[in-house]
Amino acid sequence: MEPTCPSECIYNLIPSDLKEPPQPPRYISIFKATVKDDMQKAKTAMKTMGPAKVEVPSPKDFLKKHSKEKTLPPKKKFDRNVPKKPAVPLRTDHPVMGIQSEKNFINTNAADVIMGVAKKPKPIYVDKRTGDKHDVEPSGLVPKYINKKDYGVTPEYICKRNEEIKKAQEEYDRYIQENLKKAAMKRLSNEEREAVLQGLKKNWEEVHKEFQSLSVFIDSIPKKIRKQRLEEEMKQLEHDIGVIEKHKIIYIANK
């Protein structure tokens, strides 16, 4: 803690050359007024539950006496020539009674039931144990398509497509025959094809055996290059074996 000198200390008589540095001007943003106005608007808008500005009622519009009482409609002039409603029947007046119909409703209803066509029940099916019922007609269970005239007949577009496929196959066969004649290509026999296939499989087994003999840790560039080369050779041999097994007829060009 620094020692404090009283006001009558001798050190206070020594003139001090130290001057306080001038304070730099404080930074004031040019948007201060805009931000202040926006904040004031936002605060003002939240002060009431209703609109921010409400018109003040005029002092002259005060509640007056009898202002909320219901008013009667205006009085109309009585007119005697207006037609009157029918008179109310008297106590001594009795309705006409004893009128009976000669129609036998029991026999009529019985005849309608006997002569009428019996109503057929609507076909339904149940799909669950709980008894959920559904209509049979829109379900697809009714074989109504077999009654069509064109049932079992091959559609026209399928016949047209089959003709196009047949025509394209004939053109392709013709093109192959022409190329065979031009290039004098030779067809491999089954024995030659089997020999080539067995040779490819033997080569694949040799490459696979060499691949299996690689070290577990591939920590050098030559080992990585050798592994990649063996993988490429195995992949190419597998592709060739698959092609020969897939195609029974193989042509080779005579050089």
**Which tokens is 248 given?**
């029974």
Q: State the pLDDT at residue 78.
A: 83
**Which tokens is 4 given?**
């404090």
Q: What is the pLDDT of residues 196-250, one digit of tens each?
A: 889 999 999 998 988 888 887 878 888 888 889 989 999 999 998 888 888 888 8
Calculate mean pLDDT across residues 66-77.
Answer: 88
**Which tokens is 128 given?**
């669950």
**Which tokens is 132 given?**
């959920």
- Higher per-residue confidence, 162 vs 20: 162
SS3 126: strand
Q: φ and ψ at 102, to 5 degrees?
A: -85, 0
Instruction: Give the pTM.
Output: 0.30
Q: What is the pLDDT of residues 96-130, one digit of tens each?
A: 888 888 888 999 999 998 898 888 888 888 888 78
**Chain-wide mean pLDDT for the chain?**
83
Question: Which amino acid makes up residue 54?
Answer: V
Residue 218 neighbours by CB under 8 Å, 6+ apart: 224, 227
